[in-house]
C-alpha cells in the first residue's frame, strides 16, 4: 500500500470524480484509476461504485476512508513539524542549572524566547554542578548553566558572564548605620553580626564560608545556610548580612529595601555564570536561539562568548 494510492483514493472520494482528483494531483485520469485499482486489490474489494461519471463509495470504501483521512492528516502534521523544526519554530530545550543561577539568569530571556518560539518545549532542571555535566554527557540535557571555573575538556563554554558580589543589609541594620557614618565598614565589623551563608562560585563561597565561621559567635554559634531567594527576604527583614551578586539585589537597593556595604578589606568577589554544552554535539536552532537571547540580555556582564554558539 503506497501513499500515492491513499492520496488518489482520498481526492476521488472528496471530489467525486477520478478526473477532478487527477487535476488536483496533477496526474492523468488513467493514472489515478490505476492507483485506486491497485489499492482495491490490496484491501480486497471495490472502494467505489462506478456508475457513469458519478463516484459513490461502497460500504468498504466508507469504512476505509476515515482511516485514510487520518493517515494523511498525521503525515501532513509530521511534515509541518519537520519544517518547523528546521526553521527553529519547534524543538526541545532541556537546561540543567544550579538553583541560584536559574533564578537570576533565565526568567527574562525565557519570557522573550517564549514570545517568539511558543511551540518549543522547555524544561529547566535544577541540579548540582556535577549532575548538570552528567546530563550533557548522557544526552538528557542540551544546555547547562553552571559557575566558573570549569576544568572538563569535554564541555564547551558557550558564554561566560561576570558580575560583582557585594555585602548587603537592610537600611535599619546596625551595619547600615555604621556605614552611613563612616562611608565604609570592615570585615571585623561584619563578623559581629549574623552572616547568611549562600552558595556562590568556589572562590566566593570559600570567602563567605570563612566569614560565616568567624561570625559564629554573633549568630548564637550556628551557621545559617539558605537559598538566595530565602536570604533576600531575611535581609529585607533586617535579620543579618549576606554577600550576593549585584543583579539579584540591585532592584531591592533601588527601592530602598537594602543597601550595598563598602567592606574595605574584602577581596573583590565575582559571580561567574557560564552557559555550556557538550563539546562536539551541534546545537539545533532553538537551543542556539535561546543561548543568543541569554547572551543578549546579560551582555553587560558577558566576558566571553563562543562565536559558533
Query: Which pLDDT score is estimated for 39?
Result: 92
Query: Which pLDDT score is estimated for 213?
Result: 85
Domains in the chain (CATH in brackets) are 3-86 (1.10.10.10), 90-161+272-305 (3.40.190.10), 163-270 (3.40.190.10)
Query: Which pLDDT score is estimated for 184?
Result: 96
Split the chain (309 residues) into runs of 10 and give each run's mean pLDDT: 90 89 91 92 90 83 91 80 64 88 90 90 92 95 94 96 95 96 94 88 84 78 80 93 92 96 92 95 92 95 85
Q: Is the CA virtual torsion 125, 130, 133, 138 positive or negative?
A: negative
Q: Which grid cell is 149?
A: 571555573
Query: Which pLDDT score is estimated for 221?
Result: 67
Cβ neighbours, 10 Å, residue 306: 15
Q: Which grid cell is 277?
A: 554544552
Distances from the Cα of 274 to the Cαs of 107, 207, 267, in angstroms?
16, 21, 22
Q: Which residues contact 13 (CB under 8 A, 6 or more apart)?
A: 47, 48, 55, 57, 61, 65
Rounded to 5 degrees, φ, ψ at 201 are -70, 165
pTM score of the predicted model = 0.67
Query: Which pLDDT score is estimated for 84?
Result: 61
Contact predicate 144/263, CB 8 Å: no
Q: Could you write out the three-class secondary structure of the chain?
A: CCHHHHHHHHHHHHHCCHHHHHHHHCCCHHHHHHHHHHHHHHHCCCCEEEECCEEEECHHHHHHHHHHHHHHHHHHHHHHHHHHHHCCCEEEEEEEECHHHHHHHCHHHHHHHHHHCCEEEEEEEECCHHHHHHHHHHCCCCEEEEECCCCCCCEEEEEEECEEEEEEECCCCHHHHHHHHHCCECHHHHCCCCECECCCCHHHHHHHHHHHHHCHHHHCCCCCECCHHHHHHHHHCCCCEEEEEHHHHHHHHHCCCCEEECECCCCCCEECEEEEEECCCCCCHHHHHHHHHHHHHCHHHEEEECCCC
Amino acid at each position: 500500500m503506497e501513499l500515492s494510492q491513499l492520496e488518489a483514493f482520498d481526492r476521488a472520494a472528496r471530489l467525486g470524480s477520478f478526473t477532478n482528483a487527477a487535476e488536483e494531483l496533477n496526474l492523468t485520469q488513467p493514472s489515478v484509476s490505476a492507483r485506486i485499482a491497485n489499492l482495491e486489490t490490496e484491501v480486497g474489494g471495490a472502494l467505489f461504485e462506478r456508475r457513469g461519471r458519478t463516484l459513490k463509495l461502497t460500504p468498504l470504501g466508507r469504512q476505509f476512508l476515515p482511516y485514510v483521512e487520518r493517515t494523511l492528516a498525521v503525515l501532513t502534521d509530521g511534515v509541518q513539524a519537520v519544517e518547523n523544526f528546521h526553521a527553529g519554530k519547534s524543538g526541545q530545550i532541556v537546561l540543567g542549572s544550579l538553583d541560584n543561577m536559574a533564578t537570576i539568569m533565565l526568567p527574562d530571556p525565557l519570557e522573550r524566547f517564549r514570545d517568539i518560539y511558543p511551540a518549543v518545549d522547555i524544561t529547566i532542571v535544577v541540579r548540582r554542578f556535577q549532575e548538570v555535566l552528567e546530563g550533557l554527557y548522557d544526552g538528557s540535557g542540551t544546555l547547562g548553566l553552571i559557575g566558573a571555573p570549569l576544568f572538563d575538556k569535554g564541555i564547551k563554554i558557550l558564554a561566560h558572564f561576570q558580575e560583582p558580589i557585594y555585602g548587603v543589609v537592610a537600611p535599619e541594620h546596625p551595619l547600615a548605620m555604621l556605614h552611613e557614618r563612616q562611608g565604609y565598614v570592615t570585615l571585623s565589623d561584619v563578623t559581629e553580626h549574623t552572616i547568611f551563608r549562600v552558595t556562590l562560585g568556589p572562590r566566593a563561597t570559600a570567602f563567605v564560608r570563612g566569614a560565616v565561621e568567624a561570625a559564629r559567635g554573633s549568630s548564637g554559634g550556628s551557621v545559617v545556610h539558605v537559598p538566595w531567594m530565602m536570604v533576600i527576604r531575611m535581609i529585607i527583614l533586617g535579620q543579618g548580612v549576606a554577600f550576593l551578586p549585584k543583579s539579584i539585589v540591585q532592584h531591592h537597593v533601588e527601592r530602598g529595601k537594602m543597601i550595598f556595604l563598602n567592606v574595605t578589606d574584602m577581596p573583590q568577589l565575582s559571580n561567574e555564570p557560564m552557559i555550556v554544552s557538550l563539546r562536539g554535539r551541534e546545537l539545533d536552532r532553538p537551543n542556539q536561539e535561546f543561548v543568543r537571547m541569554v547572551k543578549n540580555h546579560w551582555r553587560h556582564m558577558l566576558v566571553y562568548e563562543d562565536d559558533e554558539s
